[in-house]
Every structure is written in C-alpha cells, then in structure tokens.
Structure 1
C-alpha cells in the first residue's frame, strides 16, 4: 500500500477558534474539575469556571498592555499550570503564542524573539528573565506569578486589565478563525537554527475534537485524568493538553524530575504522554535493580513472558489462537508478583500510555503491554501539529506507529519518504519561503524527511530518517535506527550513534549510563570503577545482539565508548530528549575517525 487515509470525524465552523473549546467545556460543566494544581504538598482542583475567570482577567491585562490581535507573545517557562493559563489568555487576547524552551540559550532566545517579533515575553522567574535580558534587552518582560513586588507580573497585568470591557475582550477573542495562526512553534533544531512553524487554530482545535472520538477509551471515561510532565514548549504536549480541555479530562502539571514518581503516586493518572527515553530508563532501572538483588533471572523470565504474551495478543488480533494456556499461567503469576511493581512506577492507575517524539523499540512496546501498560505509539512532527498517525486501543500493531489520524492522508513516495496531508499540517514556515518550497509537494503534501512503509491495513512503520541514511564506501545503504534502538535496549547503553557514511564499514559511538554501570558492577562482581576492558566486553555483547538483526554488510564492526554523558545542557539532546546527531558527530568527530584509523 502506498497511501492510507482516515476520514475527518468532527468538523468545526470556519469562524471558530481554539478558545471555543474552553467556552464549550465551561458551558457543559462549569464546576467540574478541569485542572489540578499542587501547592503546599497537596493537589487542588481548578474548575472550568475558575479557570475561565483567570484566563479572561489575564487576557484583559494583555490587551491593556498594548497586545493587539495577531501580535506574538512569547512564553519561557517549565511545564506548569501558569503556562496553560498564559496560553489560553494569549488566545483570548487574539494574539499568537510563541513557546520558548526553558533550557534555551541566549542565542536561541534571541533568534526566536527576533524572528517572531514578539512584543512581550512571559517568563517563569528572574533566572529566565536574565536570559531574555541578555538575548533581547529591549523586550518587555512579565513574570508568571501573582506577587505584587514591583516587577511586571500576572498580578500587575490583571490590575491593568480591569478597565478593559467585556465587549473589547470578546472582539479580540472571537476575531480569530480556524485559518489564523495560533502559535509559532520553533523546531527543536536537531540541525541548524530552529524554524518557526505556523500552527493554526484549526490545526489545534480540529486535532483536539477528533482525537476525542479517535481514542474514546482513554478520553471519554468519567475518571480520566493525566499528568503532564513533558515540556509545554513542545507542540505535542500542548496539543494533548487541548484534547484534555476539549474533553473535560482533568490535567495536572509537574516538571520536577526528583518529584515525578511522588507526583505520579499521588495524582494516579489513568493515561500518560511519554517519550521513549523514559520507557528505556524505567526498563533498564528495573532490570538493574533485579540483577543487584540477585533476581536477574526472575526479571528476565518475567520480561520474556510479557513480550511473548503481547506478541500472542497481536497474533489473536490477526485471527490467531492467542496466548497458550502455559503462557497465560506464567503471565498470571507474574501479574501478581512483579508487574504491579512496574505499574506502580506510573502511579498504579495507568492503563495506557501514548508514546511519541522518537521511535520506541518493539521489544519495549511488547514488554510494557505484556506487563499491563498498553503503549499506543504514534508519529508526527512539529509541522503536523501532533501525531498524524497513531495506534488506537482497538487498532494496534506493535512495531508500527498506527493508522492516519482523522482528516489525514499518509503516502509513501517512490524513494520511501513519508508525506502527509490533512488538518494537522501546519500553514508553513514563518518568514521562510525557500523552506516552504522545499517542504511541500506540488499537490500540497508535506515532505517529512522520514522513511517508512504502509502495510496492507494502512499501518505505518518508520524505517529511518532520510538524512540519516548511511551509504558505505561500497555503496550499501544502511538505516541506522534499527541498530541504535536495539543497542539502547541494553541496560548499560544510554545513547548510540551508528556511523559509516562513505566509510568502508559500519561502526558506532556509545555512551553508558553511570548509574547502570555501578549497579551492573555490583551484580556481576566487578570492582569499582569498572575496568574499560570489562565494560567494553559487555557492550560487545550488546553490539552482537544488534548485529543479529541486519545483514553482514550492515553490521557494526567496531565501536568507541565515549567518556561523556549526552544531556540537554551539553547540547547533544533536544528538550524532548531526542539525540542531536549532528552535534555529536561535530564534537566527537575525532573519536569517529579513530574507528577507521587501522
């Protein structure tokens, strides 16, 4: 199959916009809990009525401060309730939200504020304010708090907005349509300077109302609730947040990594938005803890059972026999003694997770589903607003990223590139017509730059990134994603970069997780620090396992263990924990060259 589509399930009036989602939910359930805010160690509900009042007050303040419909207002903050409040208030004022990652450097901030021409910047605290002052000294700053301490803040905005009439506010709010830009979202920039993606009110709103019908098992349950801990500067997190708003799904925010497990246990979400690196960390941590406790074989057996059980469920969905009686017995045993501990990491009430931002290995998807955490993997880009494909509760194939979202068509070009058209596809790159000409086909499909294939049922499988495709000196095409995913399954491996473009053979740069190394050493009788020889011998086993998946010409012949830790601060990870390969190869080019020195 070369093309697959899903019809739009819900349409909206052309003159409507994202703010109508809040008004509709307020009308449906004004006193129903819409958000949860943690203060003084406890969670407190915020009703739709209270939230709407706060949004309107803040929007009046923005208007009073001179913000005009169509103006850009930047937000630089970690994930928190006030981010959401600011987003809706900006839209009620008829303005355009420009997210800025809280980890952005002054250079990145300067570029985004200059390119977007933001008229005001809402910042979380004084530390963020200092970054903005360095990047753009002339920009107006507003602190995202209600402290009346002399600085411009939400408190001063609300006070200034008291003179703005209801009629003026409604004129600003209702003047935007589905076709108008709601947000300028700058790509996280795995290569080069970020480009501003013009996301419309229609992109956000149509995605929200259609996703409610596409995933009703997650979103239509009366007790449905989720905890958002991914960066709200990322379009996926904000799109999912709007789905929750449209469906009245209670949403909490957390961004403190040290308190995440505690917050999950207290809040007990029923579903979560998760990136693959989190699944990898949870799996590897559990495996290492079991190994250290002398229960490594038990964990391996439980993991193998979970994977086999999940694969049997896939078989049953295709008309097969499903799990055998012995497999069901083993699964039932582990479901009493081990899998509940894993589910407790997610808070104990999660039944489904939505995975996006980067590929998740089939092994981990099967493992978590077999352990009672169903993983619905999807695929999308900033340019598609949110997932353009996704697995659903009833239509799931592990190893794929699902079927097209409602109102979306996916096709695969002759060279294997995935192209997408539909309600989520952005309006275009801001101030960048040359990029727009390259990005779209003559008939309006967006060129994703990703490689994939559609099966006979219309499920999409991602096979690699067009720009990442390696061509060895002998002319062999190698997609590195499969090897890299398999390497990351090993508990010691933090990141892996497969290299070999225009080289005689395939090789790899590998970093390890220091905590995992320590646990592994204790469990396997190695002294600390672990000798490089012992560590490389264990990593060779990971490489050998990955090599079993590919032909001899595609196998990793050598690898280099890097004495480094890739982080957001080091510049090697994006804020959603995707690897910046270009940055790695720039900083560790000498190490890559050594792999071919003899």
Structure 2
C-alpha cells in the first residue's frame, strides 16, 4: 500500500477528531488571522490571531453551550453569516457537539431561508447580525423546531417583544454558558467527539440551483475526513502556507478549504468582505487562495482598463505582454508535459523577461507578492485568461466537483497543471465518462443523498455508488479531465448542430475586456445569439475616452458607440468559431447580472433559465422575422 493510500484509508471518522489531533500537536501555532475594523470605520483594520489552542477553547465553549441548549447527535444547527472567523468556530463547535451544520447564504431572502430552516428541521440558528435574525423572526410561525437564535454581533442580539423566553442570545452568551457547562462536565465535548461515527451526518448544504426549491445535500463526517486527507495528499498545501479565505463558507468548497487546513496546520486569514480583497492581499501576503473565475476575469479586465487609461503606448505594451504571457504559458506547460521541465526557447524567454519587468511583476505584487498558486472552481475559467495569468506567474489551478461530491473531486497537480483542464481526480476518487459524454464520479466524497427526497437521489446516484454529475467532459490518456459544458446547457440548433455555450462564452471573455457576463442562446433556433452584460468600471473608463464622459452606466450601455465597440469584439470572436457556433446577433443588457436580481447563484454561477426568462423580449427581438429551419 502506498503512503497516500495509507494516509487516506487510515483517516479518523470525523474532522472533529482531526481537530483534536491538530490542537494536541501544535497548540501554540497560529491557526487563524481575522480583521477587527477600526472604530467608526476610520483607518485600517487591526488584524488579530488565534492559536490552535485558543481556537479550541472557543470551539469547545460553543459545543458545550449547544449541548446545554439540548442539541442531540445529528440535529441541525443553521449558520447564516458572511465568511468570518466566527463562522469557522461555529461550524467546528457544532461538529464537536455531534450536531450537523446547515448552511445559509446571508444574501438568501427570508422566504427561502425559512424553507431551508424548516426542511432541515434546524434546532438552532447562528445568525451573523440583526438582519439575519430579522429573517427568522419574520417567519417564526413556520419554524416550530427552531428553539434558539444565536447572534454573532452582540449588539444585535436583542430580544424583541413576542420572542419566546431565551429564544435570542449572543454568541458570547452561548460561549459563557458552555464554559459553565464544561466546569461541571469537563469531558462532555470530547465524549461527543469520540461517539461520532463516519456515516453520521455532518453537513446539510442546500444547492442553490437554477430553478425550483433547493435540495439539501447530505454529507457525512467521513466526506470531510476524506477531503482533509486527500487534498493534503495532493501536495498542494503545506504547513508553511498562508491561505487567504474569503469565499462564502456557505458554499461546499469553503468546507474543503477549512478541513484541509486542519489536517496540515497552516495559517488561514479569514475575511469575507469582497470589497476588501484588493486592500487585504498586500497585508495577508497569501501563498495560496481560492477564488471563482469571475474574480480573475474582473482582475484581468481591471488591469486592461488601467493600461488603456494610461494611453496608447501603455496599452500596446500591455497587449504585447498578454500575447507573450499566453505563448509562454502554452509552451512551458507543453514542455513540462513532455520533458518534466517548464522551459521556453531563448527568444521567447527574453521577451517574457521584458514583459515580466514591465507588467507581470506589478500584477504579482498586487496579489501580495508571495502567491504560489490560486485554486479556481465553481465554473469554467476561460482558457486564454488562465494562460495570461499562468504566463504572468499567477498559477491558477482549476479544480472541479459538485456539492454532491463534497466539492473537490479533481484538481490540477501543482507544477504539472494544464490550463483548460480541471486536473486529475483526488486520490481515492474514481471517474468514468458515460456513452453520452457525461462525467460520472464514485468515491468517499460522494453524498449520502438528498435530504428527504429519495426519488431525486435515485435520479443522480446509482445503487453501486456512481454519481451522475450532469456535466459533459473528456478524459486525456493520462487522466486529465476537461469539462466542456453542462449536459442540460448544450444547445442544439434547428439545423441539428450542437453548440457548447460555455466554450463560446469563455472565448469571448478572453477577447473582450469590457464583458462581465455573456449568455449564448440558440436552442431550436437557426442561429446563435447572445445577451451581453458589461462590467461597469471598465466600460465607464472607456466611455470617458470616447466622448461619453459624464454619462451614467445605463446611458453608456444604451449608446450606439458602445454597441459598435462590442460588435467589433463579436466579429473577432466569430472569426475563430465554426459557422454554426457564430453569434449572428447580440444585445447589450441594460444592467449587469448579479446575485441580488437572482441572475447568479451566491457562488456566482450563471442562472441561464432565469436570465433568458427576464430578457425574453430581447431574445425574441433578435429572432423576429427570421425563418426557422
């Protein structure tokens, strides 16, 4: 048996047990960093730290407090909060009490929050602030199982008239209650941890989905213990790393990142405020971080817009550097694949050195200067954007998985990563491609099923453990997976040709520095069309230079000049496509797509049916008068 197999097969039954091991091994080592905003919001944040031992004190207090509130094994505790250190401590506290965590995005409205709380039969809600508490209060009558709400922001933990006695308490109150309980029952939490079995429910995550009610995905403790061991077995993270964690912890990928950290013991800096990312990176100086493609696309568009604003000469240098970066990445990755050495010919290496001094080094500094790798997931990253960052020394390792497979089923293997693929399966995970091209997965990361929905479970999970992902993919001879599209998103034109919209959309994002989101349409139509949303800062920067200064975002979007600009990029796109893939018509959307309007999931995935319904009038307009074949 290999060392990797031994590591994975000898895993403990739970991450709670792994947490005990970590605390015992390195009690004084730094575990978490987190920001404390300056008084009144004036001045920079003050970053604080928790050692593993200090974190354990708080985790045990939370666990004991929940036990004192009457929490039993596998009973659910919901977490509705932005990413912050208290989210991690609360999650660990619930697990160490033997309970199971239900996650709720803080942007979820009151109706859907109530549905998740009711469907999961959550006994306790840990709410970030008064806004999350208000959602539970609004639907209190629908939540007979909810016995307590614990509020993280102490000032917001105020009981209101009509609240049942003891229904609302602060996190500080819960921890104080737990400390009192531990004084009387010092072994209570360790006993709960010792009683946890591998198949016991640990997490109930509701898929955000694109239509209908979300489904609760049941993930047992063994999933996370496996993920912790398997991600570390890839060699991608070490004890010396510093992780910058800002991704929503309500998303399954966040749980993978916290589990792996506990196994290896490195430092994690936690701050979920997206508007603070640029400010935080030079402070945190991470060695690795995870993100979604939209973040890298925004960085790319921002850098391009800044170069354009610097004048024609500066923009030409940037465009030249982009070409050098992409060529350098493709050549070095190909050489590494063939020889094990990421080498480039002398001429290209010389051009790359010049581009590095002019552009790439500044980009790396913006990421904190120490970034060894970034992991990207949730949706596909446009390959040309990936090649640009790769050539610039920002190594983006794409990965792949579903909520139903505990998020991390595939990841690119360090130096041997290949842009445009999601890498190789984690040790212990099996993959096969069905006859229709669908990716099937099996292994220790696969869910138990959908909560209370056996018929829905049977639709995707076969009796022998194979999970139908709904994604279309291709496996290389040496095991690298490339996802080509969602099975349900494949377009079949009225002429009988198949189009993968994600492929066309990805190419356009690499060509057009102003695009935020593009939605390619064409099912049962005689040509493909596109709805295009433009990035507000980038297009307003262009507007200032092109006679539209002083116009609002909406006015710029509606301007004929903007339409002509985007038309040139669509023409460039079409030059590289097969005839049946080309975008014959497009419309610029009157606003950007976002989570608030329901166009994107909280993990920034496109809700294609929602967008096509909302902007149906624009789609119909593009096909008016056309002859359907």
- Which residue of 445, 467, 479 corresponds with 1:458? 479
Following the alignment from structure 1 to structure 2, what is the Cα–Cα distance between the partners of residues 57 and 441?
Answer: 41
Once the 2 structures are TM-superposed, how far is the Cα of residue 19 of structure 1 from its aligned partner?
Answer: 0.5
What TM-score results when the alignment is normalised by the length of structure 2?
A: 0.91
Q: Does residue 55 of structure 1 match 2:65?
A: no
CA distance in 2 between partners of 1:307 and 1:491 (Å): 16
Q: Which runs of 5+ in 2 are unaligned?
A: 39-44, 160-167
Match of 1:580 in 2: 607
SS of 1:497's partner is: strand
| Counterpart for residue 331 of structure 2 | 312
Structure 1 equivalent of residue 101 of structure 2: 97
Counterparts of 1:15 and 1:389 in 2: how far apart (Å)? 22
Q: Map Cα deviations across residues 78-121 of structure 1 (whole Å, 9 max, x no partner).
A: 00000000000001110000010000011211111111000111
Aligned residue among 303, 308, 321 for 1:286: 303
Map 1:405-484; keep pairs closer than 5 Å: 405-484=426-505
Alignment-derived partner of residue 162 in structure 2: none
Deviation at 1:526, TM superposition (A): 5.1
Q: In the alignment, is residue 299 of structure 1 matched against residue 321 of structure 2? A: no
* Shift in Å, 1:542: 2.0
1:230 maps to what in 2? Answer: 247
CA distance in 1, matches of 2:134, 2:114: 12
Q: Secondary structure at the match of 2:323?
A: helix
Q: Secondary structure of 2:338's match?
A: coil
What corresponds to 2:132 in structure 1?
A: 128
The residue number in structure 1 matching 2:256 is: 239
Match for residue 180 of structure 1?
200
Q: Cα deviation per residue 1:211-248 (whole Å; 9 max; x = unaligned)?
A: 1120x2x42252x1111111000010121111112111
Q: Which structure 2 residues correspond to residues 344-383 of structure 1 after superposition, within 5 A?
A: 344-383=365-404
Aligned to 1:273: 290
TM-superposed deviation, 1:585? 1.1
CA contact (8 A) 2:73 2:97 kept: yes
Matches within 5 A, 1:26-65: 26-39=23-36, 40=38, 41-65=45-69
Does the Cα contact within 8 Å between 1:306 and 1:370 map onto a contact in 2?
A: yes
Does 1:142 pair with 2:150?
yes
Instruction: Give 1:171 deviation, angstroms.
Output: 2.6
Which whole-Å CA distance do the structure 2 matches of 1:9 and 1:492 have between them? 49
Instruction: Provide the C-alpha distance between the structure 1 equivalents of 2:230 and 2:6, rounded to a whole number of angstroms.
Output: 6
Aligned to 2:237: 219
Bigger drift between 9-18 and 469-478 goes to 9-18
CA RMSD between the two structures: 1.8
Q: How far off its partner does 1:414 sit?
A: 0.5
Task: Give the structure 2 partner of residue 3 of structure 1.
Answer: none
Partner of 1:591: 618
Q: What secondary structure sits across from 1:104 in the alignment?
A: coil
**Contact 2:518-2:530 within 8 A present in 1 as well:** yes
Match of 1:23 among 7, 20, 32: 20
C-alpha separation in 2, matches of 1:145 and 1:568: 24
Report how far residue 249 of structure 1 moved: 1.2
Q: Secondary structure at the match of 1:394?
A: helix
d(CA) in 1 for partners of 2:320 and 2:454? 55
- Deviation per CA, 1:239-296, whole angstroms, max 9, x where unpaired? 1111112111101111223322121111111111011000000000100110011111
**Greater relative contact order (Cα < 8 A, sep 6+):** 1
How far does residue 135 in structure 1 lie from its aligned partner after superposition?
Answer: 3.1
8 Å Cα contact 1:453-1:460 kept in structure 2: yes
2:573 to 537, 542, 546: 546
- Alpha-carbon offset, residue 460 of structure 1: 0.4
TM-score, L = length of structure 1: 0.95
SS at match of 2:173: helix
Aligned to 1:190: 210
- In structure 1, what is the equivalent of residue 542 of structure 2? 520
Q: How far apart are residue 532 of structure 1 and its match? A: 2.6
Is 1:75 matched with 2:79? Answer: yes
Structure 2 CA distance for aligned equivalents of residues 113 and 271 of structure 1: 34
Q: Is the 8 A contact 1:234 1:576 kept in 2?
A: yes
Q: 1:10–1:206: 8 Å Cα contact kept in structure 2?
A: no
Give the Cα–Cα distance (whole angstroms) in 1 for the partners of residues 387 and 134 of structure 2. Answer: 46
Measure the CA separation in 2 of the matches of 1:143 and 1:585.
38
Structure 1's 155 and 499: CA in aligned 2 closer, same or farther, altered over 3 A? Answer: same
The C-alpha deviation readout for 1:300-354, integer Å capped at 9, x for no partner, is 0111111111111112113379411111111112222321211122222112100
Q: Is the 8 A contact 1:17 1:174 kept in 2?
A: no
Q: Hey, what does 1:199 align to over in structure 2?
A: 219
Q: CA deviation at 1:525?
A: 5.3
Distance apart, 1:442 and its partner CA: 4.3
Distance 1:335 1:116, change over 3 A: same
Q: 1:255 aligns with which of 272, 296, 304?
A: 272
- Secondary structure of residue in 1 paired with 2:409: strand
The answer to whether structure 1 residue 533 and structure 2 residue 560 are counterparts is yes
Post-superposition offset of 1:15: 6.3
Map 1:313-352 → 2, pairs under 5 A: 313-319=332-338, 322-352=343-373
Q: What is the aligned residue count?
A: 590
C-alpha change, 1:541 and 1:136, in structure 2 (3 Å) is farther
1:210 and 2:230 correspond? yes
Instruction: Give 1:13 deviation, angstroms.
Output: 5.1
Question: Residues 434 and 440 of structure 2 are in contact (CA less than 8 Å); yes or no, is this contact kept in structure 1?
Answer: yes
Which of 166, 175, 198 pairs up with 2:186? Answer: 166
Q: How far apart in 2 are the matches of 1:376 and 1:13? A: 28
| SS of aligned partner of 1:401 | coil
Structure 1 residues 408, 548: CA separation in 2 closer, same or farther (over 3 Å shift)?
A: farther
Measured against aligned partners, the alpha-carbon deviations of 1:551-580 in whole angstroms (never above 9, x if no partner) come to 101211111111122111111111111111
Whole-angstrom distance in 2 between the partners of 1:533 and 1:569? 28
- Identify unmatched segments of 5+ residues in structure 1: 1-5
Shift of 1:145: 4.3
- Aligned residue number for residue 491 of structure 1: 513
